[in-house]
Amino acid sequence: MIDYVKIVCRSGRGGRGMAHLHRAKYIPNGGPDGGDGGKGGDIILRGNRNYWTLLHLKYQRHIFAGNGQNGGINKSTGADGESKIVDVPCGTVAYNAETGEFLCDVMEDGQLVTLLKGGRGGLGNVHFATPTRQAPRFAQPGEPMQEMTVTLELKLLADVGLVGFPNAGKSTLLSSVSAAKPKIANYPFTTLEPNLGIVSYRDGKSFVMADIPGIIEGASQGKGLGLRFLRHIERNSLLLFMVPADADDIKKEYEVLLNELATFNPEMLDKQRVLAITKCDLIDEELKEMLSENLPEDIPYVFISAPTGEGIQELKDILWAELNSEENRLAAVKREELVHRNYDRRMLAADFADWEADFDDCEELEEDDDFNYDEFDFDEE
C-alpha cells in the first residue's frame, strides 16, 4: 500500500505585461496599448473518494502548472496558465518535505485546497498612462512561480484502531468481526501494512476498524517496523489495546504500548481506550480471575477469544458504547482541528534517504534574469 509520496510541485509564473504604443495609419500618438499578462496556474489538491492509496502519484515525481502568457498589443490579455488538480484520497495530509512543516489536510470528497498559488500577471502599460506621462514605455513583470517539494501522507480514517505487540491477535480479531481478510500467522510482523474492516453491529449499524502492524518496545527509536504506521490510527476516536492472555505481565505490556504512543504524539493519549485480553481460550476461569485483579484500572477491559467467539459481542458492545459516548463526541469535535505535528526529520531519515538520491538529477528552477522583481511592489489586492 502506497501511503507516502514525495513530489516536486511548481505553480505557474505570471505573464509579463506588454509595453507597447499603438501605431496605425493616420493615428499619430496612438497611446499605450500593451495588455496584461495572464495568471500562472495553481497546484490544487482535491479529495477524491475513489482513490484509496497514493499509488497513482508514486511514479509522478513532478507536477508543474502552466505559466501565464505575456500580454499582447491592442490591449489583449495573455492567457492564464493551466492549473493542475491533483486527486488524492480523503485523509491525505501534505507537508513541506524540506522543513517538515504541515501544509494542509484534505478530508472530504470534492474538497479543494490550493497548495501553491500561481503568480499574478503583470499589468500592461495602458494602466500606467497619466496626463503627464502619456506614453509609458514600461510595464509590470508577472509574479514569479512558487516551487516546493511536498510529501503527501495518507492517514486512514477509521473509528477504532488496534494497538498491540506483534502476534497479539489483532489481525485475527479483524478477520473475525469483519469481512476483511488480513494475513494471519503465528510469527511476529505478519502484518506489514494497515488493513481496514467494516464491523457490523446490531440493527445495520457499523463502524470501521483499522489493523496496523505490531508495535514493540523501542519502536519510537525505530525498532521493529517503527512507528510510522501509527499515523493511520492518529485520527481514530478509539484505540483498542490488545494483549494476549499468555503475556508475562499484561499491565506492563499495556504501559509499554501507551508509552510508545505518547512518544509518537502526546495527543494519542487523549483518545478513549479499551483493553482486550486476547487468546483467553488458552487460560481457565481461575486464571482469568487472578489476571483481572492486576489490570490497569482506568480503562474498560474484556476477555476475548477469536476461535470460540467468547467476549466478541461484549467487545463490540463496549466499542459501540464508547464510540457514541458523550465524551467521545466532544472529542470528535475537537479532532476536526486535529493538530498534525510538523515532521521530525530525524525519525524519517531512512525514509528520505532513497528519495534524496532520486532527486539529485532533478532539473533546477529556471530563472528569469531579464527583469528584476525587486523594483516592483506587488501590493495586495
Ligand X SMILES: Nc1nc2c(ncn2[C@@H]2O[C@H](COP(=O)(O)OP(=O)(O)OP(=O)(O)O)[C@@H](O)[C@H]2O)c(=O)[nH]1
**Which residue ranges make up the site for Mg ion (CB under 5 A)?**
171, 190-191
* Cα–Cα distance measured from residue 297 to residue 293, given in angstroms and rounded to the nearest whole number: 9
278 binds, among Mg ion, ligand X, none (CB under 5 to 8 A by kind): ligand X
306 binds, among ligand X, Mg ion, none (CB under 5 to 8 A by kind): ligand X
CB of 3 to Mg ion, least distance (A): 17
* Residue pair 150/4 in contact by the 8 Å Cβ criterion: no
Paired with 10 in beta bridges are: 64, 147
Residue 305 lies near ligand X (rule: CB under 6 A):
yes
H or E element at residue 57: helix 55-58
Compare residues 192 and 362 and give the one whose CB is closer to ligand X.
Answer: 192
* Cα–Cα distance measured from residue 213 to residue 222, given in angstroms and rounded to the nearest whole number: 13
Residue 282 lies near ligand X (rule: CB under 6 A):
yes
Helix, strand or coil, per DSSP, at residue 19: coil
Compare residues 72 and 164 and give the one whose CB is closer to ligand X.
Answer: 164
The one among 28, 131, 204, 307 contacting ligand X by CB under 6 A: 307
H or E element at residue 326: helix 326-335
The one among 10, 170, 271, 273 contacting ligand X by CB under 6 A: 170
* Residue pair 215/262 in contact by the 8 Å Cβ criterion: no
All cell numbers assigned to 79? 492567457
Give the number of other CB atoms < 10 A from CB of residue 241. Answer: 24
CB of 192 to ligand X, least distance (A): 8
Helix, strand or coil, per DSSP, at residue 123: coil
| Residue range at the interface with ligand X (CB under 6 A); choices 25-33, 36-44, 256-264, 275-283 | 275-283
Angle at 316 between CA 310 and CA 321, to 5 degrees: 140
146 binds, among ligand X, Mg ion, none (CB under 5 to 8 A by kind): none
CB of 112 to ligand X, least distance (A): 37
Number of shown-chain residues binding ligand X (CB under 6 A):
24
* Residue pair 246/282 in contact by the 8 Å Cβ criterion: yes
CB of 190 to Mg ion, least distance (A): 5
Compare residues 132 and 186 and give the one whose CB is closer to ligand X.
Answer: 186
The one among 14, 38, 47, 214 contacting ligand X by CB under 6 A: 214
Helix, strand or coil, per DSSP, at residue 285: helix
Residue 13 lies near ligand X (rule: CB under 6 A):
no
Residue 185 lies near ligand X (rule: CB under 6 A):
yes
Kindly provide the b/e burial profile for residues 126-150, where b requires at least 16 CB atoms within 10 angstroms of the residue's own CB: bebeeeeeeebeebbbbbbbbebbb
Tell me which residue has cell 501522507. Answer: 153
* Residue pair 229/219 in contact by the 8 Å Cβ criterion: no
Residue 28 lies near ligand X (rule: CB under 6 A):
no
* Cα–Cα distance measured from residue 117 to residue 42, given in angstroms and rounded to the nearest whole number: 5
All cell numbers assigned to 91? 485523509
The one among 12, 71, 78, 213 contacting ligand X by CB under 6 A: 213
Compare residues 180 and 295 and give the one whose CB is closer to Mg ion.
Answer: 180
The one among 77, 191, 195, 272 contacting ligand X by CB under 6 A: 191
Give the number of other CB atoms < 10 A from CB of residue 357. Answer: 9
Compare residues 28 and 307 and give the one whose CB is closer to ligand X.
Answer: 307
Residue 186 lies near ligand X (rule: CB under 6 A):
yes
194 binds, among ligand X, Mg ion, none (CB under 5 to 8 A by kind): none
The one among 40, 78, 161, 164 contacting ligand X by CB under 6 A: 164
DSSP label of 178: B
Residue 228 lies near ligand X (rule: CB under 6 A):
no
CB of 307 to ligand X, least distance (A): 5
Helix 170-177 and helix 312-323, axial crossing angle in degrees, nearest 10 = 90
Residue 135 lies near ligand X (rule: CB under 6 A):
no
**Phi-psi map region of 85: left, alpha, beta (phi>0 left; psi -120 to 50 alpha):** beta
| Residue range at the interface with ligand X (CB under 6 A); choices 38-46, 55-63, 110-118, 304-312 | 304-312
List contacts with ligand X (CB under 6 A): 164, 166-172, 184-186, 188-191, 213-214, 278-279, 281-282, 305-307
